[in-house]
C-alpha cells in the first residue's frame, strides 16, 4: 500500500502493485475516463468536506430537469442557443459564463447601494437619484438570465457537463437572490419601515420558491419548473419593472391609478371600501399569491409521496429562517433598519448555506444535515429580542456586523473548499475546460495512467 499526500490537494490513497512512484503503476484507481469517472472502493479521499462515500457517489450524479415555461421555450432558450452556437468560443468554460452573469448583477447592486445605501428611496429627493441605475439593473437582469441559460448549452456543446456545473449554477442563483430583491425594493420606492410586509415578501418569497424547489428535487430526483417560474418569467418581469422605473420614475409604483380607475369600477361594493392600493401593492400581492400556491403544492406533493416524518424535518432550517426575522422585526424593527445592508447580507449567507448543503446532499445521495449551526446566533438574537433582553443599539449593531462578516467569511471558505474537492474527484478545473488536470507531482492524471496500464 502506498499513499500520496499533497497539502494543497488533500490526500489520495490508492492500491499499487509496487512501491514505484511512477503514476503508470496506479491500479484500479478509476473505472471510466472524464468527469463521469467513478472512484472504486479502493480509493480513499481524505477531504475536509466530502466524505469518501460522497466522493464515490458524486460522479454518478445525473441531472434531470425541465422548464415548462412558454417564454423559455419560444424566446429565452432559442436566444441562448444562438449566443452559444454563433458567439461563444469553445474554450470558454460554462462556469465562467455563469460567473460573468453574476458580475453584471453585482455591478447593478453596487450602483444601487452607492446611491441608496439605506434601501429607502423615499428619504431622498427622487430627482437626486440618477435613473440610469434602474436601466442598468434591467439590462443586468436580462444579461444574467441569458448567460444563465447559456452555461448549460455551452457545457453540452463542449462535452464538459459535470455535477460541478450544476452546483455552481444553482449556487450562483442562490447568491443572486439578494441582489435582485434589494434592487426591486428601491426600484418600487418602498419604505422598509412602512412597507414591512412588502419588503419581507420581496426578499423571502424568492427564497421560499428556491428552497422548496430544491427540497422537492432532493426527493424526486428531478427539477421541474412550472409554466410560470422565477428563472424565466420572474427575472424577465423584474427587468421590465426596472425599465418602468427608469422611464416613468420609481414614484410610478406609489401611484394608485390602476386601482382607482381600472379595478374599482368592476369590483363588488364591499371591496370598493378598501383603501386605494398602489401599483407596488397590487404587483406584490399577485406575486405573493403565486409564491404561496407554488410552495403549498410542492409541500403537499412531497409530503404525500414520501411521508411527513421523512420530509418535514428538512424544512426546519428554512422555517426558522423565515420566522426569526419576523419575530425580531415585530419586536424591534430598528434592529434590522439600523444596518439594512448588513441584515440583507446576513440573510443571504444563511440561505446560501442551507440551500447549497441540500443541493450537495442530493447530488451525493447523502442525508441532509438540517441542523445548521449558522442559525444558532439568529435563534439566540430572536429569543433575546422576544424576551426583552436585547434592543437596538450599538452593541446589537456590532453583533450583527460580526455575525454577518463571520457567516460570509465561513461560507466563502466552505464553498471554495467544496469546489476544490469536487474538481479533484472529477479531475477537472472549475474555470478551464481546455487544460488537462494533473494531480500534484504527476505528469498525467490517474485516469490516463490507469488506462495506459490496462492497454
DSSP of 87-135: I--TTS-HHHHHHHHHHHHHHHHHHHHHH-TTS-GGGS-GGGS-THHHH
388-397 burial code (b ≥16 CB/10 A, e <16): eebebeeebe
Greatest alpha-carbon pair distance for the chain in Å reads: 89
Name residue 3's beta-bridge partners.
Answer: 13
Q: Count CA atoms closer than 13 A to 152's CA, side-chain side.
A: 16
Q: Are 313 and 370 in contact (CB under 8 A)?
A: yes
Active site residue 25: no
CA separation, residue 305 to residues 66, 296, 355, 425 (Å): 20, 14, 22, 33
* Alpha carbon distance 352, 407 (integer Å): 10
- Phi and psi at residue 189, to the nearest 5°: 60, 40
Instruction: Label the pairing between strands 65-67 and 223-225.
Output: parallel
DSSP of 217-279: HHHHS-EEE-SS-IIIIIHHHHHHHHHHHHHH-GGGGG--HIIIIIIGGGS-TTGGGSPPPPH
Give long-range contacts, CB 8 A cutoff, 24+ apart: 384-388: 385/327, 385/328, 385/331, 385/332, 385/335, 386/327, 386/331
* Alpha carbon distance 96, 155 (integer Å): 11
The catalytic position among 170, 345, 362, 448 is: 170
Cell of 182: 434589494
- For the chain, the distance separating the N- and C-terminal CA atoms, rounded to the nearest angstrom, is 23
Residue with cell 477537472: 428
Q: Which residues are catalytic?
A: 170
Amino acid at each position: 500500500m502506498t499513499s500520496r499526500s499533497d497539502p494543497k490537494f488533500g490526500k489520495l490513497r490508492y492500491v499499487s502493485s509496487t512501491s514505484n512512484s511512477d503514476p503508470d503503476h496506479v491500479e484500479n484507481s478509476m473505472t471510466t475516463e472524464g468527469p463521469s469517472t467513478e472512484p472504486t472502493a479502493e480509493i480513499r479521499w481524505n477531504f475536509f468536506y466530502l466524505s469518501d462515500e460522497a466522493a464515490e457517489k458524486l460522479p454518478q450524479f445525473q441531472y434531470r430537469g425541465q422548464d415548462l415555461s412558454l417564454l423559455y421555450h419560444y424566446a429565452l432558450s432559442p436566444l441562448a442557443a444562438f449566443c452559444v452556437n454563433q458567439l461563444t468560443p469553445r474554450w470558454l468554460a460554462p462556469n465562467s459564463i455563469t460567473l460573468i452573469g453574476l458580475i453584471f448583477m453585482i455591478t447593478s447592486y453596487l450602483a444601487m447601494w452607492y446611491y441608496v445605501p439605506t434601501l429607502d428611496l423615499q428619504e431622498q429627493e427622487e430627482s437626486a437619484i440618477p435613473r440610469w441605475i434602474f436601466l442598468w439593473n434591467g439590462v443586468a437582469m436580462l444579461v444574467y438570465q441569458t448567460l444563465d441559460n447559456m452555461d448549460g448549452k455551452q457545457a453540452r456543446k463542449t462535452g464538459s457537463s459535470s455535477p460541478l456545473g450544476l452546483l455552481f449554477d444553482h449556487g450562483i442563483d442562490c447568491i443572486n437572490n439578494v441582489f435582485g430583491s434589494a434592487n426591486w425594493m428601491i426600484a418600487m420606492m418602498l419604505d422598509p419601515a412602512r412597507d414591512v410586509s412588502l419588503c419581507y415578501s420581496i426578499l423571502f418569497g424568492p427564497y421560499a420558491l428556491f428552497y422548496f424547489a430544491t427540497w422537492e428535487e432532493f426527493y424526486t430526483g428531478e427539477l421541474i419548473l412550472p409554466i410560470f417560474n422565477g428563472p424565466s418569467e420572474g427575472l424577465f418581469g423584474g427587468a421590465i419593472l426596472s425599465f418602468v422605473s427608469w422611464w416613468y420614475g420609481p414614484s410610478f409604483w406609489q401611484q394608485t391609478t390602476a386601482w382607482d380607475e381600472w379595478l374599482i369600477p368592476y369590483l363588488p361594493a364591499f371591496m370598493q371600501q378598501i383603501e386605494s392600493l398602489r401599483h407596488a401593492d397590487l404587483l406584490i400581492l399577485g406575486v405573493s399569491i403565486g409564491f404561496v400556491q407554488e410552495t403549498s403544492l410542492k409541500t403537499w406533493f412531497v409530503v404525500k409521496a414520501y411521508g411527513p416524518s421523512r420530509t418535514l424535518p428538512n424544512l426546519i432550517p428554512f422555517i426558522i429562517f423565515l420566522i426569526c426575522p419576523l419575530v425580531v422585526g415585530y419586536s424591534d424593527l430598528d434592529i434590522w433598519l439600523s444596518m439594512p445592508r448588513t441584515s440583507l447580507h446576513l440573510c443571504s449567507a444563511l440561505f446560501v448555506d442551507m440551500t447549497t448543503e441540500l443541493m450537495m446532499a442530493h447530488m451525493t445521495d447523502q442525508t441532509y444535515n438540517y441542523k445548521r449551526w449558522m442559525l444558532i446566533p439568529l435563534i439566540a438574537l430572536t429569543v433575546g429580542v422576544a424576551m426583552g433582553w436585547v434592543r437596538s443599539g450599538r452593541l446589537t449593531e456590532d453583533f450583527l456586523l460580526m455575525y454577518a462578516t463571520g457567516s460570509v467569511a465561513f461560507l466563502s471558505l466552505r464553498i471554495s473548499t467544496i469546489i476544490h474537492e469536487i474538481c479533484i474527484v472529477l479531475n477537472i478545473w472549475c474555470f478551464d475546460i481546455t487544460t488537462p488536470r494533473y494531480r500534484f507531482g504527476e505528469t498525467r492524471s490517474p485516469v490516463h495512467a490507469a488506462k495506459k496500464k490496462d492497454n
